[in-house]
Amino acid sequence: MKIGVIVPAAASDADGGRPSWPAIASFARAAEAHGLDSVWMFDHFFHKPSSGPIDGQLETWTVVSALAAATERVEIGTLVLCSSFRHPSMVAKMAATADEVSGGRLILGLGAGWHDAEYDAFGFPKDRRVDRFEEALAIVVPLLRGETVTFDGKHFTARDAVLEPAPSRDIPVLVAAFGPRMLRLTARHADAWNTAWFGEPDQRLRGRLGALDAALAAEGRDPATLERTVGIEVRDPSLGAAEEDGEDRAFGGSVDELAEAIAAYDELGIGHLIVVLQPMTEASLERLALALARR
């Protein structure tokens, strides 16, 4: 099982305000030095809570491209790009270029989006998000596989679009999904699937794994051909108990208990575990690396 981490890029990810680019690069290089397999970026312009200040972050694709040049070994993923924020043909072109810069280390994570405040602030349409996502997949995936694409949709169009130069490999496409229609789209198009956010493996996770299996069966797809990835939150116990956020639960146990939890995900057949560290510091990376060494 591979292990990756979200890189700090938002104001809430560091004490004293948003991390600088040198701090982000240092965090990613430290993850690489500790033997982790991947680094990931969320795709948000900001998060606007019901009360309090806006939590802004750097633009995702710019940071992903910079990380492609700043690291040497780790895979670099998006968790996940919002399909409404960029035209799908441009997403495919950017992905092919970033993958080239990275030497073949990109994981293109895609999703339908959810945070209405961003759409309103930046003028993006927020209606029919799954419809838009389905059309985006119909353009992005064949372009990345070297096809010439003509597509006439309600939301996106393409006319004899082709990636030149073509991608040097099949760039893996990951879809974050939990609803029935999104799971069917995952089964139809994706190389990997993501669900989040969890602490230890629980019945909610097992339910989502079961729903994915049902979608794969409905699409007639071999379950072994789709990688399962899970996002987890790991909180340093010195921070105290985390506030509950709906069904999401952060893991706050000891290093040994964290090692056991990671092993439990491995036993479930999860192919890639993507960790949000609390706090997002290099000391937290060291703690995660210690847990991995004790598995």
Tell if the pTM clears 0.85, that is, is over it: yes
State the average pLDDT over residues 280-290.
Answer: 97
Decide if pLDDT at 275 tops 80.
yes
Under the banding of pLDDT at 50, 70 and 90, the label for residue 245 is: low
Helix (H) / strand (E) containing 55: strand 55-56
CA separation for the pair 52, 99 (Å, rounded): 38
Q: Find, among 203, 199, 206, the residue nearest to 276 by Cα.
A: 199
Return the pLDDT at 129.
95
Residues contacting residue 242 through CB under 8 Å, at least 6 positions apart: 233, 235, 249, 250, 252, 278
What does residue 72 show for φ and ψ, rounded to 5 degrees? -125, -30
Return the pLDDT at 190.
98
List helix spans (H) across 15-155: 21-33, 60-70, 88-102, 116-122, 129-144
Decide if pLDDT at 138 tops 80.
yes
pLDDT tens for residues 31-46? Answer: 999 999 999 999 999 8
Decide if pLDDT at 244 tops 70.
no
Contact 88, 136 (CB under 8 A): yes
Return the pLDDT at 140.
98
Residues contacting residue 166 through CB under 8 Å, at least 6 positions apart: 96, 146
Under the banding of pLDDT at 50, 70 and 90, the label for residue 193 is: very high
State the average pLDDT over residues 245-250.
Answer: 74
Q: Which CATH architecture has domain 2-293?
A: Alpha-Beta Barrel (3.20)
CA separation for the pair 79, 167 (Å, rounded): 21
State the average pLDDT over residues 206-233.
Answer: 98
